Amino acid sequence: MILEIKNYIKISNSIDEILKNSPFKLKYIIEKSGISEPTFFRKMKEKKFLPEELLRIAEIIEPEKTFLQSLEEAEDDFKNGIYHSHDDVMKISEERFLKKYGNKVV
């Protein structure tokens, strides 16, 4: 746990440099993060991003890692029997569709 906390502090303290070296423009990162621009710059200057905000930023600037992690989690779920059959998915989809559109043809 100590190592994770030290890594969090290191990332938090170097977020401005991390963002500077990102392949994405800062404006794009700010827009996708959902944090207002003035707040984003204040937090960056003060190094006061919440852990959840840093996670959102990391997911934006490292989309391939986010995708691979999602695949690993899905694989774990499947191995642990946490999944829906095709019939279940179709039933859930139909219920959502009917709830949203009723019996209208779309």
Q: What is the pLDDT of residues 60-101, one digit of tens each?
A: 999 888 788 878 888 888 899 888 899 998 999 999 999 988
CA distance 27 to 29: 6
> Which element (helix H / strand E) includes 77?
helix 63-79
Using CA atoms of 69, 74, 75, 76 in order, give the dihedral in degrees to the nearest 10: 90
Q: Percent of the chain scored above 90 by pLDDT?
A: 70
pLDDT digits (tens, 9 = 90+) for 33-42: 999 999 999 9
Contact indicator for 49, 40 with CB cutoff of 8 Å = no
Say how far apart CA 57 and CA 67 lie, in whole Å: 14
- pTM exceeds cut of 0.75: no
102 by DSSP, 3-state: which?
coil
CA distance 30 to 41: 9
